[in-house]
Structure 1
Amino acid sequence: MNASRGLATRLCALALLTASGGVLASACADNESSLFVRMRMARSGDCTVSCSPGEAFSTQDAVDAAYVDSHSATILVGNQIVERGDSDVLRTETSRVQLYEAEVRVFFMDGQPVNEGYVVPINGVVDPGTSSDAGYNCTEVLLLDGATMQDLRAQAAELNGGDVEVVTTMVLRGRTLGGQEVETAEWSYPVSVCFGCSRCVDTIPPICCSDSTSEDCKDQEEVEGSCPGTRGTQDCRNLGQTCAQYLASFRF
């Protein structure tokens, strides 16, 4: 009788362990759907961003490596973990996700890696979803770091104004207020990189490029710039020299 009871106890424990393992495996598998990347937010005319899935978004970035040393983007992140807080029993909300890092890799269109990848800190708190709707918030992610941009700049310079097409992939990681680690599935985003393909404007007289305080330069209008992720007109006064001098200063 005792032997039978012991066997039953062991079988029950094994069943519980198996069930528990199933729950844990399911929780791990669900991590990539609990937290997800929705889209790259577009900037409005004044270069501001609204963090909502109903706002405008971008499907590709284009940067001129002659005028930027790195490139970041505003990413909309969703949280599908359900709310767990309950004021009636004084239970705090543990399903908010604190974002803390992004693992980024960059590839050419043929799949060859541009770099070995890098991990960068990110920040932002994503509220839990309500009912069937996810909670959302934005975070800034470094799509092309300085070393990657330097490599792409040299390759783009050889194309004489042509584009180097790359795909940036990212995995964003966070931690719930309850201590659960979550991460997104890998998300890809294309970026076109050129060198010196943007329109660059010299002042008249050109001396104003390097000395805007001169008497002849006081009434000159500013050149309207562009938002990050787009190519726009460059003003030589921001470079401290004429456009030709600036581009010639690069050594590859």
Structure 2
Amino acid sequence: MSKKYFIPIFGGIDYRLSKLFSLEEDLTTDYHGSIDISVCEKTEPDEIIASMITGKPPQEHGILGSMHYTNPLVRKVEEILPEWGEMYRRKIYTNKGWDFCRRRRYIESEIETSTVFDQNICARPLFLPSYNPEIQWLIFRNTIRANEYPGLGEKESEKLIEKNFQWRKKVLEKELKRDYDLLMIHFQYIDSIQHVYYENNWDMEKVRKAYDRIGSYCNELIKSASSNGFDETIILSEYGVPSRTDSGDSHHRTPFYPSTTPLSGKSINVENILNQIELL
């Protein structure tokens, strides 16, 4: 492998908001654009990131949506009788017990095709949905999706978001100093802030400050990655801002990318990103 790549994924960075908040101008990257995720049926990070790291559409890599039942009987019931309604089905499964109806996010062993991490390179994935998510994400006890806990309040939500962000930053700081051909990490900071202040409360000043903060952090990461031997940094997002309407998508299909290396076109297909830099 001729070059070493650092690829941080910041969930929720929206292409339109990046322009509104001048994120493009603030970043020390020469190339920017949007990511086309039309190959994915759901705007869920598991499905989209699986397409990134496999170079395949969901129908081939097998990661569909975000959550799935580990019991094949339960999965069959879900396929045959969707009209039962989610609440009614949950009651049945609850009565059968947790082991019968365990529902969780995807992991590496459930990806049905090879990934970039199966290549003959020294690669390190950190907290990637669909591959090696942290345990809270895996079992959907995701405390930094603070809008799911209405009694928590905005200030306490921000504390949890900040705690997770700082922890991932600390892990990354150590890993950047190691000798990898490819280092990938997933952050939820922007997505979490947007769920609290865009989806629910419409406080755009809070959202703007989050984008400013991430812009400064990305510039720090680009400098740090370069000083630690990485040739290129490609910053990705898997989707845009959370949807505030009943559009059928949980997020807007407007993810953003800045890069220190040219990628073909202002809009790139999600499944072709790593192909373009010859990692797949």
TM-score band w.r.t. shorter chain: under 0.3
Compare CA radii of gyration and give the structure with the larger one.
1
> Which structure exhibits the higher relative contact order, with contacts defined as CA atoms closer than 8 Å and separated by 6 or more residues?
2
Normalising by structure 1, we get a TM-score of: 0.23
Normalising by structure 2, we get a TM-score of: 0.21
Name the one with the larger helix percent: 2
